[in-house]
Structure 1
Amino acid sequence: MRALVAAGLVLTVAACSSPEPGGNAPSKAPAPQGLKVEEVAAGFEHGWDIGFLKDGGMLVTERPARIKLVKNGQVTPVDIDLKDVQVRGEGGLMGLVVHPDGQRFTACYNTARDVRLVTFRLDGTKATKTKDLLTGMPSNPSGRHSGCRPTLAPDGTMYVATGDIAQGRNPQDRTNLGGKVLRIDPETGEGAKDNPFAGSTNANERRIFTYGHRNVQGVVFRPDSDQAFSSEHGPDVDDEVNLLKKGGNYGWDPSKGGTQGGYDEDVPMTDLQRFPDAVEAVWSSGSPTEAICQAAFWNGKLAITALKGSKLMLFTLDSAGKVQNVAIPEELNDKYGRLRAARTAPDGSLYLTTSNGNNDKLLRLTGDV
């Protein structure tokens, strides 16, 4: 049954379970009932991330180097200089995080030379660059495996999910920022003082929190816990949800210890033969992959969007972070196409973006899950 609500299009559909994902996924769970999906705004092109402002507005990044301000149902382009953004393939303007002061935000994007984090100050609908927070993250000219999403942690540090740019040596090279989860000071871009390799003489290594990743799409922090989770693209198998452990190696090594000159995607996502101490995923998709994207905690569940899978996945976790079951809300299962961004709003609702490339939408989810 569908109901139309004047404030926006809201679907209230009796939901059913979707087939269980493959791999080491746990049992499927009944999909939540009464989930409401509101179309807040439309007309975006590859909406990539969402940032919430103190006045109730939202910033939405678009991969083709645009930022839109959404407030009171109105969508206004932000006046910002993004001429140095290189938009190609998977690359362009990507993640964004709003700083606690509500005036600054840091965005991540490809240039002709690198992937970088840049901080801007917002005044109304105009944004002015204040600093290059972190430069030198590797970039593939094709844009492949660019990452890149910043998120502020409860302790005030900034975590940055990066891709390996499809270069085989990057994930295991701790002097290279590709294929990592970084943890940095949001004011200086330097590694946090208590990072696992804080004593290194190499500045890049000091920034690393975890390594051995392929193409991390997001990091999220579990409320009232010290747990952080990442969502990561696999090759043709094994998208992964990982519980991040300080200094952990997550086992992706398409260079086979530097013996392979290209990018061998037939290696395991977590290669326990080469790295017996590698951290195993708490969930993997098996085959086929879903192309999971950003993660957010919502009503106690770990909510993760899927691009290829065109769905939202709701993971129930135990206290140790182990996945107990996965539910697929029917209201979003292949109804809006590719889903990318996922951010929990201050009011507790969940905001998503579609990423189909034409008339993409900003969606708001409410209801018990």
Structure 2
Amino acid sequence: MRRLAGFAVVLVLAGCTTSTGGTAPSSAVPGGLAVTEVVGGLTHPWDVGFLPDGRLLVPQRPGRLTLVADGRATPVDADLGDVVARGEGGLLGLLVHPDFATSHRFTTCYDTATDVRLVTWELTGTSARKVVDPLLGGLPVNPSGRHSGCRLAVDAEGALLVGTGDTARPAVAQDRSSYGGKVLRLNLATGEAFAGGDRVHTYGHRNVQGIAVRPDGLVFTAEHGPDVDDEVNVLRAGANYGWDPSRGGASESYDESVPMTDTVRFPDAVPAVWSSGRPTEAVCAAAFLGSSWGALDGVLAVTALKGSKLLLLTVTPEGGVHSVSVPPELDGKYGRLRGAAVGPDGALYLTTSNGDDDKVLRVRPA
């Protein structure tokens, strides 16, 4: 990967930690972290994709695609005129296809006036053209943009996973005919259900903001709670995750006083493996750290918007969360943190989401 120029900020952690609350105890972070600014001057960068030539491909929520190389941002010439950026909505998740070296393809997810849709593109130089539009359309949209979560990942079998928001409508999350409040599992080439399964992989979600696939294939998601109980979940095919602000259809309003995982109404609902309790952090993207991280190998890194921090979750082989730590280098120092992805160099790449001079950050052990 090319060296990415920028201003380096290196801080050393002396075995301390910040209390995280939630359903797992706090723990100390071994060593320290080095945080480097890769590029600035962005507006709500939602994700980071890595190209074989070392460039980064970054979607910005107002409806812009940007290539980053050697500390410089170059606009991508792409027809994004149908993107509706309002509230939480706009140009959101991005996935560089595993075969990009030969196909030059990537897929984005964004709000339009009528739906949230997946679109596949082909990149040539600094220009991108739509080649499958839509790969999948008809995901529900809220005109205000509320609960437009749309994160993309590829699982161990090559299926496209899509985490979606419930558009702040009461019945959507439990309605299996709707693509809102779900994790979808699709054929990356066609948008059809993967391997003859069901497009709706899991349901009963409020607003899925992060998906991380562990090397052994276990899939974790990060999800926004209302004023309590952000969640990290482990996915089970066909399972209900218990969010139902319609109260079984009894309420026509969006009743956010219900539990995030209502095991009384839904006894088979899957409990979260970690919950923030109160207050919420507004957890967002998630990524597993690799072997170059030493003692942090296998840790799940989760960004937080409202919390303005990075959460490091130590997970068990079975998928439980053993403990949580917050490195001080990324606790309130850069504001709201949204995107998280591990690059080919093993570093963790984060995006800020403050709306003014947002950045891509590169994080490594110090």
Between stretches 144-153 and 108-117, larger displacement belongs to 144-153
Instruction: Give 1:221 deviation, angstroms.
Output: 0.5
Paired position in structure 1 for 2:193:
191
> How far apart, CA to CA, are the structure 1 residues paired with 2:361 and 2:83?
26
**1:97 Cα deviation (Å)?**
0.2
Cα distance in 1 for partners of 2:20, 2:90 equals 33
For 1:219, the equivalent position in structure 2 comes to: 211
C-alpha displacement at 1:13, in angstroms?
A: 2.6
Q: Is the CA contact 1:49–1:94 (under 8 Å) kept in the aligned structure 2?
A: yes
SS at match of 2:195: coil
Q: Distance in 2 between matches of 1:326 and 1:42?
A: 29
Q: 1:251 matched to which residue of 2?
A: 242
Contact 2:59–2:65 under 8 Å retained in 1: yes
Give the 3-state SS of the residue equivalent to 2:120 in structure 1.
Answer: strand
Cα deviation for residue 242 of structure 1 reads 0.1
Deviations 1:65-113 (A, max 9, x none): 0011001222101111100000100000000000122211100000000
**How many Å separate the matches in 2 of 1:365 and 1:275?**
40
- Tell me which residue corresponds to 1:199: none
**Residue matched to 2:20:** 20
Q: Distance in 1 between matches of 2:301 and 2:241?
A: 22
Say which of 345, 361, 364 aligns to 1:363.
361
| Equivalent position of 2:135 in the other structure | 133
Write the distance in 2 (CA, Å) between the matches of 1:40 and 1:148: 24
What corresponds to 1:282 in structure 2?
A: 273
Task: Normalising by structure 2, report the TM-score.
Answer: 0.94
Residue 194 of structure 1 deviates from its aligned partner by: 5.0
> In the TM superposition, what are the counterparts of 1:1-369 in structure 2 within 5 Å?
8-15=7-14, 16-22=16-22, 25-102=23-100, 103-131=104-132, 132-195=134-197, 206-223=198-215, 225-298=216-289, 299-367=297-365
Amino acid at match of 1:184: L
**CA contact under 8 A between 2:155 and 2:217: conserved in structure 1?**
no
What runs of 5+ residues in structure 2 fail to find an aligned partner? 290-296
Q: Tell me the TM-score normalized by structure 1.
A: 0.93
Extract unaligned runs of 5+ from structure 1: 1-5, 196-205
TM-superposed deviation, 1:12: 2.1
Deviation at 1:193, TM superposition (A): 2.4
Which residue pairs with 1:3 in the alignment? none
**Which region of structure 1 is more displaced relative to structure 2, 53-62 or 26-35?**
26-35
Distance 2:66 2:89 in 1: 18
How big is each residue's C-alpha offset from its partner over 1:280-317, in whole Å with a ceiling of 9 and x where there is no partner?
Answer: 00000000000000000013100000000000000001
Deviates most, 108-117 or 27-36: 27-36
How far 1:218 moved relative to its partner? 1.5
Deviation per CA, 1:255-292: give whole Å up to 9, x if none. 01111101000000000110001000000000000000
Report if the CA contact (8 A) 2:181-2:205 is conserved.
yes
How far apart, in 2, do the equivalents of 1:115 and 1:226 lie?
Answer: 27
Distance (whole Å) between structure 1 residues aligned to residue 196 and residue 227 of structure 2 = 36
Q: Is the Cα–Cα contact under 8 Å of residues 31 and 330 in structure 1 kept in the other structure?
A: no
The residue number in structure 2 matching 1:202 is none
Q: What is the alpha-carbon distance in structure 1 between the residues aligned to residue 6 and residue 227 of structure 2?
A: 41
Alignment-mate amino acid for residue 142 of structure 1: S
Q: Secondary structure at the match of 1:27?
A: coil
CA distance in 2 between partners of 1:324 and 1:128 (Å): 45
Q: CA deviation at 1:33?
A: 2.1
Q: Do the aligned partners of 1:32 and 1:329 also contact (CA within 8 Å) in 2?
A: no
Counterpart contact for 2:6–2:37, Cα < 8 Å? no
Local SS of the residue matching 2:7: coil
Displacement of 1:34 in angstroms is 2.1
d(CA) in 2 for partners of 1:19, 1:74: 37
The separation in 2 between residues aligned to 1:141 and 1:176, in whole angstroms, is 17
Same amino acid, percent of matched pairs: 58
> Could you give the per-residue CA deviations for residues 134-165 of structure 1, whole angstroms, max 9, x where no partner exists?
00000000000011111112211100000000
Would the aligned equivalents of 1:311 and 1:339 in 2 still touch at CA under 8 Å? yes
> Once the 2 structures are TM-superposed, how far is the Cα of residue 9 of structure 1 from its aligned partner?
1.6
d(CA) in 2 for partners of 1:292, 1:286: 12
Aligned-partner Cα distance in 2 for 1:274–1:347: 46
Per-residue CA deviation, residues 147-190 of structure 1 (Å, 9 max, x unaligned), is 11111122111000000000110111100000000000011101
In the alignment, the residues of structure 2 paired with residue 71 and residue 100 of structure 1 have an alpha-carbon distance, to the nearest angstrom, of 20
Q: Structure 1 residue 213: deviation in Å?
A: 0.2
Q: Contact 1:119–1:129 (CA<8 Å) still a contact in 2?
A: yes
